[in-house]
Amino acid sequence: MSQTDVDFSDSAVLIVAHGSPHSAGGTSTTRRLAQQLANVEIFGEVSAGFLAEKPFVADVLKDIDASTIYIVPNLATTGYIFEEKLPKALGLTGLVTERISPKGLQHLVLTEPVGTHPLLVKIMTSMVQSALADFDIDVNDDVNDVALVVVGHGSTKSRASFLQTLHVAAEMGIYGLPDLTGRKAIFTAFLDEPPFIQDWRDLTTAKTVIFLPFLISDGYHATRDVPLAIGFDPGDADFQANLKQDKANKVHLNGQDLIYLPPAGSAKDIAEIIFSRVQQAQERL
């Protein structure tokens, strides 16, 4: 964790994720991040809350004593959830909300989402580079025909997810995967809008295709929906075990090697992004 000259010992951090009433698996990443941040003992309190499952974020907020509470959205992007659903759930009036609670005067400070932080591009690029090394793939070798598909959520309510996924994919090419960019071998696909992930074969016929979910949660989408749409068997015990250990899965299917990486939000360095978001928000107070 980065060093800071600011004393946050009287402040609290509330990490907010969407969650799901259908799958509790997506909360594990957020809970783990909260524990990581609590372990470094920089903040007086660190909590996690959810918009669609217990513990609901509004209930968690009621139990926080600190006078300054940094609310960090563990989301991939801005958009409907960040701009409407989260503020409504917490009664936020802007980036900084003052309220009188049973605890006294509190300042609720909303940070930018985890997924729009520049460090996430470096983390995702590193994930791809590690997979290339682990599976002994040389993108400079003409024998190897390699493509990368960055998988975003997408939405019919906002363009934010679509645009941020495009941005991340482009930045990954510039930052650390220029060989794939030069061959126009980096693509994007989505769960909720075209090009849909189940149609990925319309994007590339490469012999080796690496799939990286630009998803912050390790819930149902990342562990079931996306891999199933690609061609993996998410019901396979080894497949799920690899994801839980932050390992890639590989399958040979219809003449192609398909490599599925854990979701971007499962990386250990995400805690560093949360801390950075808090520091950025503190500077504008």
71, 16 Cβ separation under 8 angstroms: yes
154, 199 Cβ separation under 8 angstroms: no
11, 65 Cβ separation under 8 angstroms: no
What is the pLDDT at residue 27? 60
What is the pLDDT at residue 139? 80
Domain with 45 in it: what CATH number?
3.40.50.1400
What is the pLDDT at residue 22? 66
Tokens 């560093």 locate to: 272
Pair (215, 130) in one structural domain: yes
75, 68 Cβ separation under 8 angstroms: no
Determine the Cα–Cα distance for residues 111 and 96; give it in Å rounded to an integer: 9
What is the pLDDT at residue 217? 82
What is the pLDDT at residue 94? 95
What is the pLDDT at residue 5? 80
Pair (246, 138) in one structural domain: yes
Pair (92, 68) in one structural domain: yes
Pair (46, 79) in one structural domain: yes
What is the pLDDT at residue 157? 86
**Which has the closest alpha carbon to 265: 51, 85, 58, 26?**
26
The angle subtended at Cα 109 by Cα 104 and Cα 100, nearest 5°, is: 20
What is the pLDDT at residue 1? 66
**Domain membership flag for residue 238:** yes
Each residue of 52-88: pLDDT tens digit?
Answer: 989 999 999 999 999 999 999 999 999 899 999 999 9
What is the pLDDT at residue 138? 86
Reported pTM: 0.93
**Domain membership flag for residue 56:** yes
Pair (61, 202) in one structural domain: no
What is the pLDDT at residue 143? 60
Which residues of the chain have a pLDDT value below 50?
none
**Domain membership flag for residue 5:** no
What is the pLDDT at residue 23? 61
Pair (155, 23) in one structural domain: no
Each residue of 160-204: pLDDT tens digit?
Answer: 999 999 999 999 998 878 888 778 899 999 999 999 999 999 999
* Integer CA distances (angstroms), 187 to 98, 114, 213, 268, 285, in order: 43, 22, 12, 25, 39
Pair (81, 126) in one structural domain: no
Domain range for 250 is 115-266
The number of domains in the chain is 2
Residues ≥6 apart with Cβ < 8 Å to 237: none
**Domain membership flag for residue 3:** no
Residues ≥6 apart with Cβ < 8 Å to 38: 46
**Domain membership flag for residue 6:** no
